[in-house]
Amino acid sequence: MDRKQYCVKLSVQPSRGLMDEKFIVQVHNVPPGFQLTIHAFHKCDDGHSWEAFGHYTASAAGAVNVSEDPSLGGTYSGVEQMGLLWSLRPVPGSKPGLRMRKMNVQTPMEVSISVYQGHQTEGLVDQVPLTSVVVDRWYIAPGVRRVPITEGGLTATLFLPSGPGPFPGVLDLWGGGGKLVEYRSALLASHGFASMALDYLTPKITIETGKIVDNQYFETAYRVLEQHPLVLGSRIAMLGLSLGTSVTLKLSVYSQVIKLRCAVCISGSHVQPLGGSWQQVLTCFKENAGKTRINEEGHVIWRDLLLPIPTDPTLKVDVGQLQCPLLLVVGEDDQNWPAPESAMDMKEMMEKAGNSHLLTVLSYPNAGHLIEPPYTPHARFSKFITFDTRQKAMVLWGGETAAHSRAQEDAWRKMLIFLRENLYGGTHPGATSVSHL
């Protein structure tokens, strides 16, 4: 193609947006039938580089619209409007087991979108593109306030939406990797919820004392959120993923302090010994380490540690006592936790107890454990460092990339609806349903 004759134009709109917001990528002014590669490149906070690309053929008008035209190959195929984000993968030569996570939400995820001649699969970053633009993807919307929280011995960050408030609150708990992970809370605040990201495995108090926190730590976090002048204290939810689900379910049923308007549990289980400390819960999980499996690639599979689901009522949270709406999000290919089996057992327990009207289950075929906000690149496996022993393992999370990515988009949209209905609405709607993509 003669570059002088054809001045290729590339448009990405919006060029600045939230992480869960779709963009439209269009290429104009190329020859009809022209074969081209649209490429996305991102260098994340930890210095590792990621790329995604699709192969396209220009229309008779000399144009490509990624939201309407099929990719014929690359890291994704078919009509996939956001394939350039969700199919991002480490560039060739990267060390294995990477997982993309935004650790500094106060800066955007910068993505370079470029157009190259022909259907290419490698060496693109070393070439000069026909044209290129940079787009900014933010977890934190303009006006959202980030407030570090240390009172009561907490290690937390509160994100407050823009505007005068007050706002409903969300207590946001991640899983067994520990650390203070903020990006989901920042995005929730961008949608109108005062969300507190809480580090409960590696907080300052645990580092100083060597002791795992107890229920009082979570109840302190709840009280700080409840009593904040910009938070509606009677409209608070808990959101947990993986181990965070264990905390959420236990406290929502048994705590005399925490009174939730609703709860969301992603990729977790109700199985845990009751009456013990969190140290004892974690010790119980470790005692089942003999059930660990290793696949042919050397990836660790932990989903059997809590199987079979016990019948002993002292070994699982009695969700039959739950008094607030509960949303369970399940990946049917979860290789880390027995989330599908746990969801089935919780549904049976709630049906027997007569409170199943409070339960909603979203179950996704071929989705794995790490169900994150939309367009987060899928990590089927990644390096995992245990919070206590600092032991490294290559852990299998599961999931098939396209199906997992669709699950993330659908679950996030439905979770926001669930939170709005229960935290902004006047009643407790809760209706039993099982949804499959």
- What are the phi and psi torsion angles at 407 (to 5°)? -65, -40
Buried b (16+ CB within 10 A) or exposed e, 21-34: eebebbbbbbeeeb
Q: How many Cβ atoms are within 10 Å of 122's Cβ, its own excluded?
A: 10
Residue type for position 421: E
Which one, of 89, 75, 73, 36, lies nearest residue 58 by Cα?
36
369 noted as active-site residue: yes
- CB-based contact 255:263 (threshold 8 Å): no
Q: Of 369, 378, 404, 405, which is the active-site residue?
A: 369
334 noted as active-site residue: yes
DSSP H or E stretch at residue 42:
strand 35-43
Which one, of 286, 315, 288, lies nearest residue 386 by Cα?
286
Residue 92: partners with Cβ closer than 8 Å, 6 or more residues away: 122
Torsion over CA: 27, 30, 36, 39 (sign): negative
Residue 164: partners with Cβ closer than 8 Å, 6 or more residues away: none
Both tokens of residue 314?
């002292």
Which one, of 16, 24, 84, lies nearest residue 50 by Cα?
84
Torsion over CA: 253, 257, 259, 263 (sign): negative
Quote the CA–CA distance of 396 and 381 in Å, as a whole number: 4
DSSP H or E stretch at residue 354:
none
Quote the CA–CA distance of 212 and 106 in Å, as a whole number: 30
Distance of CA 403 to the CA centre of its chain: 15
388 noted as active-site residue: no
- What are the phi and psi torsion angles at 343 (to 5°)? -65, -40
Q: Of 20, 199, 333, 334, which is the active-site residue?
A: 334
- CB-based contact 9:29 (threshold 8 Å): yes
Measure the N-to-C terminal CA separation of the chain; round to a whole number of Å.
43
Angle at 341 between CA 391 and CA 171, to 5 degrees: 65
Q: Of 242, 252, 356, 382, which is the active-site residue?
A: 242
Which one, of 236, 287, 230, 280, lies nearest residue 258 by Cα?
236
Quote the CA–CA distance of 114 and 125 in Å, as a whole number: 9
**Catalytic site residues?**
242, 334, 369
